[in-house]
A and B are shown apart, each in its own frame.
Chain A
Amino acid sequence: MVSFSLNGHPVTLEVPEEATLLQALRGPAGLSGPRFGCGTEQCGACMVLVDGTPRCACTLAAGAVTGRAVVTVEGLGTPEAPHPLQSAFLAEQAGQCGYCLSGILVSAAALLARDPAPEEAAIRTALEPHLCRCGSHNRILRAVSRAAAEMA
C-alpha cells in the first residue's frame, strides 16, 4: 500500500513499496500518460513531477513518494482545460508518434515554473534527458517557447 497525492487528489494504491512508481501509475492508478521506454532513466518517457521536480518514474520505488505530490501529464490539463504547453504542442503540431510527449511535457512544465522565459539553450538543457526518435525536436522547442510567451 502506498499513499500519495496524484494529480491533486489523494490516492492509496495496492502495490508493494518496491514496485516502481511507473508500475503503480500504469497499473492500479490506471494512467497511461507516463510511459515505459527503458527502465534505466535513459529516455525520459516515464517522467513525472514529484513535488514539482522531474523524476524518472521507471526507477523510483513507489514507496519513495509516500506523502508526496506526483503530477503526470494527465495532471497538467485536459482537452477541456489544457495546460498552455499542451495547447502550444497542438498549435505547433509538435510530435509524430507522440510516445515521448508525456515526459517532455512534464519536464517543460517544470522548466517554465522555474524559468518563465527560457532561452532556447535552457529548453534544450531541460529536455536533454528525453529521447525523441521521430525528429520532432525543433517543433517541440518552438512549442515550449510559444507556451512561455502565452503564459507571460
Chain B
Amino acid sequence: MGAHRLPGNLQTNRRLSQWLAIHAEGRVTITPGKVELGQGILTTLSQIAAEELEVDLTRVEARPASTPGSPDEGVTSGSLSTQDSGGALRHACAAARAIFLGVVAQRVGVPLETIRIEDGIFHGPAGPIGSYWALADQALLDCEAPAEARPRAPGERRIAGHSIPRLDLPDKVFGAARFVHDLRLPEMLHARVVRPPARGARLATLRDGTLPGDARVVRDGSFLAVLAATEWEAEAAAARLAARAGWEAEDTLPEQALLIDWLREAAARGERSPVASRAEPAPPAAQTLRRSFHRPYLAHASVAPSCAVARWEGETVEVFTHSQGPYNLRADLAKTLRCDPERILIHHREGAGCYGHNGADDVALDAVLAARAVPGRPVRLLWSRAEELGWSPFSPAMLVDVEADLDASGNLAGWRSHIVSNGHSSRPGRAPEPTLLSAAMLATPFPVKPSINPAMAAGGGAPRNGVPLYRIPALSVETTRLLDMPIRSSALRGLGATLNVWSIESVMDEAAALAGADPLDYRLRHLDDPRAIAVLRRVADLAGWAGRSRREGFGLGIGFARYKNTGGWAAVIAEVEALERVLCRRLWIAGDVGEAVNPDGVLNQYEGGAIHGASVALLEEVRFSRRTVTSDHWDGYPILRFSEVPKVELALIDRPDQPFLGAGEASMAPTIAAIAGAITDALGIRPRQLPFTPENLARA
C-alpha cells in the first residue's frame, strides 16, 4: 500500500486502470465496484467521471461490477456509494485528465494551463491539438493514483450537480431485458428450490416418483432443488417434489405474542456493551421520563423475488447476481464450496429495488448448487414470492428503554438508554464461515452464527442513530446484542435507526410538552449543529408549521435525524388522518447531503425512503408461528399501496462546496418519528410499538 492517503475506495484500490479506461473510438468506461440497486448510482458515478474528464455524458459507460473486473469496493450499503466510489472516481478521473493533458502539452509544446478540453478534444491557443481518443493508451492509466488531483471547482461543474435523467430508466419503461431475471443464455435450465416447512428442519425422507418433462432433482443434505428446461416444468416439478418430501421439524421460534418478553429474556443472556457516554456537569433532574419502544421484525419486501444464474465449467463457476457485494459473495461461495475464490467469477446484474441484505446472495448459492449438477449449462434459479418474504434475512425485532432527566426549566439534563436487538448484519464475506442460507442445509452443514453489528465508527448496527444529536450534558447509551437468533437477521435500510430515531424524537416531543414548548422550538434549543437547525427550519417553512391550525381527526408531527450522525440530514413533518386506521396524508421533507451530484436523484431517494418509512410505520410486521415465518405472501405482509401513499413535498439544501453524503437512508427513520408525533397530535396517545396499527395504538 502506498504512503499517501487517497479518497474513498481509491485508498484500497489504488491503480487508475482499476477504475477507468479510455478507448480510441471515443468512449470511456468506468468500472466501479458499487452496484445499481435502483438508487441511480451508475448515473451519479457516470456524471462524476464525465465532469472530471470533460467529456459528454453519452461517452461514458458504467460497467456493472464484476470479479475480478472491478475494484473491490465491499458492499453497496450504508448510503456510502457516492462518498466511497464517487470520491474515488472524481480523484481518479481528475488524475487521468492531468496525465493526458501532460502528455499532449509535452508533445505539442504548449503550456499546460493554456489547454482546454471540449468533449474530450484538447484545444491549444491555436486550435485542436489532440484528444483522449487519439492518445488512448491504457498504459497511461496503469499507475497508482497520485496523491494530488485537482477536481473541477464547484462553480465549473456542468454535469455533476445537475439533474441528469437516469441512464437506466429508458430500458425500464420499454420493458428491455435489464434485470438478472431477464438473462437468457443458450441451453439455460430453470431451477426452483423446495424449502422446508420449518426453520432448521431436516430433510428425512424423499419418496421416488416421476417428474414432468426431463426435470431432475438436486439434493445436498436438506437442500432440495429441481432443474427443468422450462419454467412451467420446473414449477410443476417443485410442487410434486414438495409433496414427496418428509421433514423433521421442531419449534424454534419464540411465541410472537410474547416477542417483547422474549427480547428481554434473551437480553439477559446477550452481550451488553457501551455505545457512548458523556458526563459533563448537569443540572439536577426535576423529573425523569422512563419509556420503552419496540419494533417487530421487518422484511425487505422487494417487488421481485431473488434470482441468479450460474454456470459451471470444469472447476470454475460463473455467477450472475444482484448481490450488493460481488467480492463478499465470492468469498462466501468459496467458503461454502471449499474452493479458491479465484475459481468463482461474479457478474452483477440488476435486481428489483434493494434496501439491504435481502435474498440476493442466498439465491446465488442456490443457483451454484443447482448448476453443479449440469456442468456447462447455465441455470437460472428464481425464488418464489414465499421464499422472498419468508426466507430472506430480516431486520431484527428491537426494544429500546430510555430514561430522560429534565431539569427545572424542562431542558434535557441526562439521557440513559439501552438498545436490545440481534445484530444487524449477517452479510457474507466477513466471517470465517459462510452466512448464505443454504450453507446451513447441506449434508455437511455450516453453523448459523448470531448476526453482528458494524462498529460505531462505521455507523453501528442496532445502536445506529441511538446517540441523540441534541445537547445533553450527561449521557449513557448501551446496547445488548442477542446471541440467540431464532430468525436470521441482517441489514435493512437504516438498521437500528428506524427504532432509535423514533425513540429519541418521541421523548423530545414528550419533554417539549412537559416544558410547555413547541416541539420544533424545543428541538432547536437543544441543537448546536447549524445544518441540523437549517433542515428543521426549512421543513417548518415548507409545511407552514408556525401557522398551523388544528383540524379534527388530523395531526402533525416532526422528526429529525442526521443519518448515522455522520451522513445526510433529514427533517420531516408528517400529517396523519385518524380514521379506523391511521393514514399518513402528507409529508414535508428537508434534506442536506452536502454536494448533490444529481439533485433529482437525491430527492427521489429521500421521497422513496420516506414512503418506505410510512409503510413501516403503519403496516409492516413479519408474522411467524413457532416454526416458520407465516407472512410469506403480500396479504400477510402488506406494504403501502397507491391509494394510501402520502403526498410529498421536498426541499434540498444544496451545498456544492461540501463533501457529498449518501441519500438513500436519511429520510426513513425521521418519517417514522414524524408520523408517531402526528398520531399524538391527532389522538393524544403516544405510540410505543411499531407498526402504528389500531391494536398497537390501543396499548399505548
Chain A residues within 8 Å of B, Cβ to Cβ: 15-16, 18-20, 23, 26-27, 30-40, 42-43, 45, 72-74, 77-79, 82, 86, 89-90, 93, 95-102, 105, 123-125, 127-128, 130-141
For the complex formed, measure the closest distance between the CB of B320 and the CB atoms of chain A, giving whole angstroms: 14
CB within 8 Å for A32 and B175 given contacts A97-B37, A99-B303: yes
Chain B hits for A135, CB < 8 A = 607-612, 645
CB within 8 Å for A131 and B645 given contacts A36-B181, A36-B305, A95-B172: no
Partner of B232, one of A23, A77, A100: A23
Chain B interface, number of residues (Cβ within 8 angstroms): 58
Q: Kindly supply a per-residue 1/0 record for chain B positions 474-501, scoring 1 wherever the CB is within 8 Å of any chain A CB and 0 otherwise.
A: 0000000000000000000000000000
Partner of A32, one of B176, B232, B635, B645: B176
Chain A hits for B600, CB < 8 A = 93
CB within 8 Å for A138 and B648 given contacts A73-B174, A79-B174, A93-B169: yes
Segment touching A, from B71-79, B240-248, B545-553, B636-644: B636-644
B173 contacts A89, CB within 8 Å? yes
Partner of A99, one of B176, B301, B352, B605: B352
A-B contact pairs, 15 of them (CB 8 A): A35-B181, A37-B303, A43-B385, A73-B175, A98-B38, A99-B172, A99-B179, A99-B351, A100-B303, A105-B173, A124-B643, A133-B612, A134-B38, A135-B611, A139-B604
Nearest chain-B residue to A100 (Cβ)?
Answer: B303
A131 contacts B177, CB within 8 Å? no
A97 contacts B175, CB within 8 Å? no
Chain A hits for B20, CB < 8 A = none
Partner of A97, one of B305, B352, B612, B643: B352
| Residue B647 at the chain A interface, CB threshold 8 Å | yes
| Residue B304 at the chain A interface, CB threshold 8 Å | yes
| Residue B566 at the chain A interface, CB threshold 8 Å | no
Bound CA span A105–B494, Å: 31
| Residue B633 at the chain A interface, CB threshold 8 Å | yes
Chain A hits for B641, CB < 8 A = 128, 130-131
Chain B hits for A40, CB < 8 A = 385, 633-634
For the complex formed, measure the closest distance between the CB of B429 and the CB atoms of chain A, giving whole angstroms: 23
CB within 8 Å for A137 and B353 given contacts A32-B177, A40-B633, A98-B173: no
For the complex formed, measure the closest distance between the CB of A84 and the CB atoms of chain B, giving whole angstroms: 12
Nearest chain-A residue to B229 (Cβ)?
Answer: A27
Bound CA span A38–B635, Å: 11
For the complex formed, measure the closest distance between the CB of B79 and the CB atoms of chain A, giving whole angstroms: 15
For the complex formed, measure the closest distance between the CB of A121 and the CB atoms of chain B, giving whole angstroms: 9
Chain B hits for A31, CB < 8 A = 175
Bound CA span A100–B302, Å: 10
Partner of A133, one of B175, B353, B647, B648: B353
B643 contacts A39, CB within 8 Å? no
Partner of A86, one of B174, B179, B643: B174
6 nearest CB pairs, A to B: A33-B175, A97-B38, A98-B172, A135-B611, A135-B608, A97-B353
Bound CA span A45–B355, Å: 19
For the complex formed, measure the closest distance between the CB of A103 and the CB atoms of chain B, giving whole angstroms: 10
| Residue B165 at the chain A interface, CB threshold 8 Å | yes
A78 contacts B642, CB within 8 Å? no
Bound CA span A105–B182, Å: 19
Nearest chain-B residue to A97 (Cβ)?
Answer: B38
Partner of A138, one of B174, B302, B607: B607
Chain B hits for A27, CB < 8 A = 230-232
B172 contacts A101, CB within 8 Å? yes
A133 contacts B604, CB within 8 Å? no
Bound CA span A45–B302, Å: 12
